[in-house]
Structure 1
Amino acid sequence: MKKIFNPFTYVRKIRELIRKVIKSVKRSIRIQLITAFTACALLGLFFAKGAAPFFENANRQATIDYRSGMRDIHQQAQSVANSSVHENKLEAISDMIEMENQNLERGSRALKVLVTDESGKVVYKTKQAQEEQIDLHNTIRNAASFAINYSNGQDEFENTRKEFIAFAPITIEDKNLYMFVSGIPGGEVRYHTQEGPFPFLIGVLVFIFSFFYITKRKMKQIEAMAQGVKEIEKGNLAYRIEKKGEDEIASLTENINNMAEELMNNIEKERKLEKQKNELITNVSHDLRTPLTSVMGYLRLLRDSEYENKEQHDEYTRIAFAKSEQLKNLIEDLFEYTKLTNEQVILEKQEVCINELLEQLIEELVPQAEEHGLTFVKKFPEERAYAAVDSEKMVRVFDNLLMNAIKYSKDDGEIKVSLQRQRRDIQIVIANHSEEFTREELGSLFERFYKKDQSRSRVTEGSGLGLAIAKSIVELQGGSIRAEYEDGIIQFIVSLPIIEK
Structure 2
Amino acid sequence: MNQQYSRFISYLIGILTALLVTVVLIQLIMRPPAGDLLYLAIYLSFTSLVSALFGFLSHRLGWWRRLPRIGYALALGYILAGGLTLFNVWVTARLMFINQHDLALGSLLLLFAGGISVAFGFFISNSISQTLNSLVQGADQLSKGDFSTRVTVHGKDEIAQLSKAFNEMAARLEQAAENERTLDEARRNLVAWASHDLRTPLTSLRVMIAALTDGIVDDPDTISRYLHQSQSEINRMGKLLDSLFELAQLDAGFLDLDFEWITLSDLVSDTLESFAASANAHEVTLEGYVDPQVNLVWAAPDKLSRILDNLLSNALRFTPKGGNIHLSAKAEGNSTIVMVKNSGKGIDQKDIIHIFDRFYRGEKSRVRDKDESSGVGLGLAIVKGLVEAHGGTISVESKTDSGTKFWFNLPGHAE
Q: Tell me the TM-score normalised to structure 1 length.
A: 0.54
Q: How many residues were matched structurally?
A: 321
Query: Residue type of the partner of 1:495?
Result: F
Cα 1:386/1:217, change in 2 over 3 Å: farther
For residues 129 and 202 of structure 2, the distance between their equivalents in structure 1, rounded to whole angstroms, comes to 69
| Residue correspondence of structure 1 range 276-291 to structure 2 within 5 A | 276-291=186-201
Q: C-alpha deviations, 1:184-204, integer Å up to 9, x for none?
A: xxxxxxxx8875421221232
The structure with the larger Rg is: 1
Correspondent of 1:453 among 362, 365, 386: 365
Query: Residue type of the partner of 1:491?
Result: T
1:474 and 2:387 equivalent? yes
For residues 344 and 402 of structure 1, the distance between their equivalents in structure 2, rounded to whole angstroms, comes to 26
Correspondent of 2:176 among 251, 260, 266: 266
For residues 386 and 195 of structure 1, the distance between their equivalents in structure 2, rounded to whole angstroms, comes to 96
Query: Residue type of the partner of 1:453?
Result: S
Correspondent of 1:244 among 149, 154, 166: 154
1:321 and 2:231 equivalent? yes
Cα 1:312/1:432, change in 2 over 3 Å: same
Cα 1:217/1:300, change in 2 over 3 Å: same
Correspondent of 2:140 among 230, 233, 239: 230
- Which one has a larger percent helix, Structure 1 or Structure 2? 2
1:430 and 2:340 equivalent? yes
For residues 205 and 375 of structure 1, the distance between their equivalents in structure 2, rounded to whole angstroms, comes to 92
| Residue correspondence of structure 1 range 57-76 to structure 2 within 5 A | 60=101
Q: Give 1:294 deviation, angstroms.
A: 0.5
Query: Residue type of the partner of 1:403?
Result: S
For residues 310 and 500 of structure 1, the distance between their equivalents in structure 2, rounded to whole angstroms, comes to 55
Q: Give 1:347 deviation, angstroms.
A: 4.4
Show structure 2 runs of 5+ residues with no match. 1-73, 94-98
Corresponding residue SS for 1:496: strand
For residues 399 and 181 of structure 2, the distance between their equivalents in structure 1, rounded to whole angstroms, comes to 35
Cα 1:353/1:257, change in 2 over 3 Å: farther
For residues 222 and 239 of structure 1, the distance between their equivalents in structure 2, rounded to whole angstroms, comes to 15
Q: Give 1:326 deviation, angstroms.
A: 1.2
For residues 385 and 247 of structure 1, the distance between their equivalents in structure 2, rounded to whole angstroms, comes to 59
Cα 1:278/1:369, change in 2 over 3 Å: closer
Q: Give 1:389 deviation, angstroms.
A: 4.7
Q: Give 1:263 deviation, angstroms.
A: 2.4
Q: Give 1:477 deviation, angstroms.
A: 4.1
For residues 333 and 467 of structure 1, the distance between their equivalents in structure 2, rounded to whole angstroms, comes to 11
For residues 264 and 218 of structure 2, the distance between their equivalents in structure 1, rounded to whole angstroms, comes to 54
For residues 413 and 111 of structure 2, the distance between their equivalents in structure 1, rounded to whole angstroms, comes to 77
Root mean square deviation of aligned Cα: 3.9
Give yes or no for contact 2:267–2:305 (8 Å, CA) kept in 1: yes
Show structure 1 runs of 5+ residues with no match. 1-32, 53-57, 61-191
Give yes or no for contact 2:335–2:413 (8 Å, CA) kept in 1: no
Q: Give 1:382 deviation, angstroms.
A: 3.5
For residues 354 and 253 of structure 1, the distance between their equivalents in structure 2, rounded to whole angstroms, comes to 53
Query: Residue type of the partner of 2:201?
Result: P
Correspondent of 1:219 among 117, 125, 129: 129
Query: Residue type of the partner of 2:111?
Result: L
Correspondent of 2:294 among 372, 384, 392: 384
- Which one has a larger percent strand, Structure 1 or Structure 2? 1
Cα 1:215/1:353, change in 2 over 3 Å: farther
1:330 and 2:240 equivalent? yes
For residues 345 and 245 of structure 2, the distance between their equivalents in structure 1, rounded to whole angstroms, comes to 30
| Residue correspondence of structure 1 range 47-446 to structure 2 within 5 A | 60=101, 196-348=106-258, 357-362=267-272, 364-366=274-276, 369-370=279-280, 374-384=284-294, 389-422=299-332, 426-434=336-344, 437-440=347-350, 442=352, 445-446=355-356
Query: Residue type of the partner of 1:286?
Result: H
In the alignment, what sits opposite 1:188? none
For residues 282 and 378 of structure 1, the distance between their equivalents in structure 2, rounded to whole angstroms, comes to 38
Corresponding residue SS for 2:288: strand
Cα 1:458/1:263, change in 2 over 3 Å: closer
